[in-house]
Amino acid sequence: MKNILVIGSINMDLTVSTPRVPVMGETIHGHSFSTSPGGKGANQAIAAAKSGGTVKFFGAVGNDVYAKALVNNLECNGVEYNGVSIEDVSTGVAVITIFNGNNSIILDAGANGRITVEMLEKKKELFAWADYLILQGEIPEEINIESAKYAKETGTVVVFNPAPYQDFSDELYKYIDWIIPNESETELMTRVCVDNEDSARKAVDLIRKKGVRNVIITWGEKGSVYSCGEDIKIMPARKTEAVDTTAAGDCFIGNFVRMLAEGSDIDTAVLYATAASSIAVSRRGASDSLPTKNEIEKLINC
Ligand code: RIB
């Protein structure tokens, strides 16, 4: 098993289910409020560790009640925490509403937004340890660029989840080996709405022009489109009743990379990642919804 390093966000998710989406200025009743551990980085790390990966995490928490709970949650799920605590800021939070199984998320980055290059430099030994590095868009871009640059120096494979989407710099793209956006991030990146195989091919080609060779577009209930050469392939999703889609993409990414770290071929890694995320959407919560290896294998073999 090869080693996986995740550098990224760690949040407390404050989630409420709603009967409909409120209009501006309106108050409506929601239900089933919960606080649960999340953050794209932490979710991806836990998805990889829970399914058998060897995973370390670097990120930042603030000075509040959420910090300890989130670090404990990483450690209880088998992730080695190598992060920093920042005194004068809150831990990241995500305010999530769930309507009809789909989520909308508002982030306050808190400590995630305060990671500095100096903090990262003190953890440089992590890059020599890592065979795979997973990054996302919830920490400052300069941290992603520096991390990806260090990874290239140590021959570490860089996997980037461009979420939430922003206009990422060309410099970052040139260090990325795998990019894994969802369909809305793909549309923002390429201006192509991926609704069939032709548009998927067009989007993949445009993403490649940014300098990234290997692309996976996660496609919600339709599955995923993936390509590591001229060919594009489609992996259909498994039929599942979606209770909460939060962290489904994170689950896919953590499991995909864990499979590669185990030595799997790409098709099998995508198959496992797809099965894993179908389990995640059938449960509420972010990291709480992520499946174990046994659960994934049981689903694949049934
Ligand atoms: O991808 C889902 C995650 O996005 C949530 O856990 C939330 O914290 C936000 O980071």
Query: Per-residue pLDDT tens for 173-219?
Result: 999 999 999 999 999 999 999 999 999 999 999 999 999 999 999 99
What is the length of the chain?
A: 302
Local confidence band at 302 (pLDDT 50, 70, 90 cut-offs): confident
Ligand 1 center from residue 158 Cα (angstroms): 20
Retrieve residue 35's tokens.
């606080």
pLDDT digits (tens, 9 = 90+) for 170-181: 999 999 999 999
pLDDT digits (tens, 9 = 90+) for 85-136: 999 999 999 999 999 888 899 999 999 999 999 999 999 999 999 999 999 9
Ligand 1 center from residue 148 Cα (angstroms): 22
Position 35 scores a pLDDT of 95
**Arithmetic mean of pLDDT, 33-55:** 97
CB-based contacts of 301, cutoff 8 Å, min separation 6: none
Mutate to test the pocket of ligand 1, among 10, 40, 287 (most ligand atoms within 8 A of CB): 40
**Active site members:** 250
Local confidence band at 25 (pLDDT 50, 70, 90 cut-offs): very high
Position 103 scores a pLDDT of 86
b/e sequence 152-177, b meaning 16+ C-beta within 10 Å? beeebbbbbbbbeeeebeeebbebbb
Evaluate if residue 244 carries a pLDDT over 80.
yes
Q: Which of 37, 80, 83 has the alpha carbon at shortest distance from 61?
A: 83
Task: Give CA–CA dist 197/110, Å, rounded.
Answer: 39
Cβ atoms of 245 and 286 within 8 Å: the answer is: no
pTM score: 0.97
Local confidence band at 229 (pLDDT 50, 70, 90 cut-offs): confident
Q: Which of 207, 215, 269, 219 has the alpha carbon at shortest distance from 248?
A: 219
DSSP 8-state code for residue 110: G
Position 101 scores a pLDDT of 82
Position 99 scores a pLDDT of 92
DSSP 8-state code for residue 191: S
Position 158 scores a pLDDT of 98
**Arithmetic mean of pLDDT, 151-165:** 97
Average pLDDT, the chain: 96
Ligand 1 center from residue 99 Cα (angstroms): 16
Helix segments in 111-245, DSSP class H: 117-121, 125-129, 141-153, 170-173, 183-190, 197-209
Q: Which of 249, 250, 222 has the alpha carbon at shortest distance from 236?
A: 222
